[in-house]
Structure 1
């Protein structure tokens, strides 16, 4: 049986977990936004200090890029990985065109998250805890789905690139860790986070 027809069970389990975590973070942020709309003096439960807080991010222009609170995107968007993961575990097999569309969706999410990370660190000057939870599942989800789409040939690339993508799947934890460390170092250099905790 060809590799492109095998069920990616590990990826499916990750997508289910990521979907649950992402939905949880989006739901928590949505509740905080509703509380703030009802009570202008509301202090978000995730406001720990001037640097680590949700309030400033939710109230900023970046917090409602498309004219509505960003967490609503998460409530809708995180359903896709959850449903796809559950479908794979239930035995579904998706066509290559589906994986292309799914990869495009996660590419948008990844690009949006990267933009929000930059805005948080360099413009707003705060780190939102629930936003960081979202980052922590969006980034590895994008890497994993992109590599899977390449290795099965959904994204038409040479066989050598497909083999590389298959190899890199085994290195995914390291790739993700390096990404997180890079974000943490940039945030520390810009925001001096350690000064608020030590």
Structure 2
């Protein structure tokens, strides 16, 4: 049952993050149960977990819906992420292992291939793994725990920027700068590179919020 709850949680979470389930969209338990192949009780448990992640809102007599954020809320959260990501990247540059650098290099190669073939979904998954590796390599796990709590409900806003013309190229360049700083063990440069990337994401969302969402 626990595995079914986790599978349901991951299914709905991915649909929210990739934009399949839109902000304010109602999440019907019977429909979700049928889609995943589980019972409604399992769906309820998964939705409660998603509520803890601030991805879903559950209201009495109204059920669950995808949580929506105002532009001001999104910008405020991204400002926090920028600062925390900077601390994490600085720590990662001083502690990252060779195996993690090799995986980051493979991710960058995969991103180039996905860009050539316009594979946005694959690029999103690689971007997610790119940041996960940085978080895993950082010694400052307090900052990691804090940023993950803030970042999770906002991933869908980040990812949708990749749909804008030229944004995929800009994003890959930004992550290439982060990777090079980590590879060379340049803590200050890694902090600056990741904060620049987060600033760019925030600026793009601020300028294109109504278009994207």
Report the TM range for the smaller structure's normalisation.
under 0.3
With normalisation by structure 2, the TM-score equals 0.25
Normalized per residue, which structure has more strand? 2
With normalisation by structure 1, the TM-score equals 0.26
